[in-house]
Amino acid sequence: MRSIYNYLKDIFQGVWSLLKGLQVTGKYFFSPGKIVTQKYPNNRKDLVMFERFKGEVVMPHNEKNEHKCTGCGICEINCPNGSIEIISKMITTDDGKKKKAIEKHIYRLSMCTFCALCVKTCPSNALAFSQEFEHAVFNRALLIKVLNKPGSQLMKGVEL
């Protein structure tokens, strides 16, 4: 008797759970609510990417053309693909000290896997991800980018 009860219970519980699933998809079918599809090339102008999106590595500069990169080379060491290369130079500061600064922060987009190790390990938060994702170019050389803008300087107070 017990087994027959369990058998019937199985059937009704199974049907009940199936109906619950059907209810969810049925509700979506008749009232979809928010459509998640992005009609990409059409909405190109007002397309907003989300903050976590890893488009490409950039070096944010402030309005005085200053960045935070001290040229320590930690990003270069941490990059698993060797897509970052730092060319540094020696400069003399106002009070006559000799200091290391970056000449060029070279970033090879074509070799980057967007693992974010450079951004995470940068001690002075000089690197960040932009939300730019249209990377197609006609020449491979255009994928080698120099992140520091010409004539830019180290921001005051980053290096003590």
Partner 1 sequence: MFDFSVVTKWIDTGLHNSMSPFWATVAEMLIIGVAILVFYALIGLFLVYAERKVCAFMQNRLGPNRVGPFGMFQTVADLTKLLFVELVPIKNADKFLFNLAPFIVIIASFMAIGAIPFALGLHAIDLNIGVLYVIAVSAMGVIGILLAGWSSNNKYSLIGAMRSGAQIVSYELSVGLALITIVILAGTMQLSQIVEGQSDGWFIFKGHIPAFIAFVIFLIASTAETNRGPFDLAEAESELTAGYHTEYSGIKFAFFFLAEYMNMFIVAAIAATVFLGGWMPFHIRGWDEFNQVMDYIPTFIWFIGKTFFVVWLMMWFKWTFPRLRIDQLLTLEWKYLLPINLVNVLIMALMVLLGWHF
Residue partners of 143: CB distance under 8 A and separation at least 6: 108, 109, 110, 135, 137
Are 107 and 83 within 8 A, CB to CB? yes
Q: Which is nearer to partner 1, 30 or 138 (CB)?
A: 30
Joined tokens for residue 42 = 């059409």
Are 118 and 86 within 8 A, CB to CB? no
Site size with partner 1, rule: CB under 8 A: 17
Q: Which of residues 127-146 bind partner 1 (CB under 8 A)?
A: none
Minimum separation from the CB atom of position 5 to partner 1 (A): 15
Bridge partners (DSSP) of residue 85 are 106
Are 55 and 130 within 8 A, CB to CB? yes
Closest CA to 135 of 27, 56, 65: 56
Q: Which is nearer to partner 1, 44 or 98 (CB)?
A: 44
Minimum separation from the CB atom of position 158 to partner 1 (A): 45
Minimum separation from the CB atom of position 135 to partner 1 (A): 23
Q: Dihedral of the CA atoms 95, 67, 108, 74 (nearest 10)?
A: 60
Minimum separation from the CB atom of position 129 to partner 1 (A): 27
1 binds partner 1 (CB under 8 A): no
24 binds partner 1 (CB under 8 A): yes
97 binds partner 1 (CB under 8 A): no
**From CA 117, how far away is CA 122, in angstroms rounded?**
8
Q: Which of residues 25-84 bind partner 1 (CB under 8 A)?
A: 25-26, 28-29, 32-37, 39
Q: Interface residues with partner 1 (CB under 8 A)?
A: 10-11, 18, 21-22, 24-26, 28-29, 32-37, 39
